[in-house]
Amino acid sequence: MARIIQAAWLALAALLLPGCSFAENKAPDYRYRLTVEVETPDGLKTGSSVIEVQQTLVRAGSVPANQAVQRRVRGEAAAVDLPGDKTLFALLRSDNDPNWASMVYVLLAPQENKPFEDALDDVLEVTGKRTLPRTWPADLWIQERSAYPMLVTFGDPADPTSVAKVDPDNLAATFGEGVKLKRITVELTDDPVTTGIEARLPPPSPKGFYVMRMEVDGEQRTMLLGRSAFSKGTQK
């Protein structure tokens, strides 16, 4: 599924209109605050992170006039401290899309049929605090999929192989009775990019991964999460 989504983004980039120059049009950089709100027996718990999306116009294919937007993320996962010394992490990727953090505002922006150069700053029209929908609707290339970032926790805060995926619709299964996801929001901001998440994470395995074991269709599967799932461009 992740490969299908990546291929779809490439296909979207290829459907560009010629005729606009690199000098005349710019794709704006922007920052947004990702906030996760969790209801618990001890009250509402929240965690947030400011993420920056750097956008660059690049040439698409061999036609000089064709353009695409290359997006690069700088930021970190949002961490929510929960009762029992547990931490919920909302990653920079979703279950199926490793580029979730760079695409969430693109998908929230008005989906209008307009020339490519006129849509470059549509993300800036997504003003105010926006609650993410549970799913993105299906489109021409991609089936309906989760609009949420991937949620995980560590069974042992010192063990990089103890990552556990958290069901956003059933936090109680992981964190106990009375723990429930209230909402996940995003909001454009000028605040500085969040840093320092490394202090909340165990060192990765010798090969640089965090190991997540999960059950898929009744079978045990292993997924390797790189550092980039938790942070990009903020490591010192």
Mean pLDDT confidence for 31-51: 98
Give the pLDDT of residue 184: 99
- The residues, any chain, with a CB within 8 Å of residue 51's CB and separated by 6 or more, are 31, 32, 33, 34, 73, 74, 75, 76, 92, 101, 193, 194
Alpha carbon distance 82, 46 (integer Å): 9
Give the pLDDT of residue 60: 65
Are 127 and 187 spatial neighbours (Cβ–Cβ below 8 Å)? Answer: no
- pLDDT tier at 74, thresholds 50, 70, 90: very high
Q: What is the mean pLDDT of the chain?
A: 86
Alpha carbon distance 185, 131 (integer Å): 4
Per-residue tokens: 110: 């008005």
Instruction: Tell the residue number behind the tokens 């605050």, with chain if given.
Output: 33
Q: Where are the alpha helices (DSSP H) in 72-210?
A: 100-108, 172-175
Residue whose C-alpha is closest to residue 33's, from 197, 189, 150, 195: 189
Of the candidate ranges 26-30, 82-86, 176-180, the one whose mean pLDDT is the lowest: 26-30
**Is 22 a residue whose pLDDT tops 50?**
no
**Is 89 a residue whose pLDDT tops 70?**
yes
Question: Mind listing the pLDDT tens digit for each residue in 151-197?
Answer: 999 999 999 999 999 999 999 999 999 999 999 999 999 999 999 99
Give the pLDDT of residue 64: 52
What is the pairing mode between strands 231-232 and 67-76? antiparallel
Instruction: Tell the residue number behind the tokens 């704006």, with chain if given.
Output: 28
The residue with greater pLDDT, 164 or 236, is: 164
Q: Containing H/E element for 2?
A: helix 2-14
Are 46 and 206 spatial neighbours (Cβ–Cβ below 8 Å)? Answer: no
Of the candidate ranges 142-146, 208-212, 216-220, the one whose mean pLDDT is the lowest: 216-220
Give 236's strand partners.
none
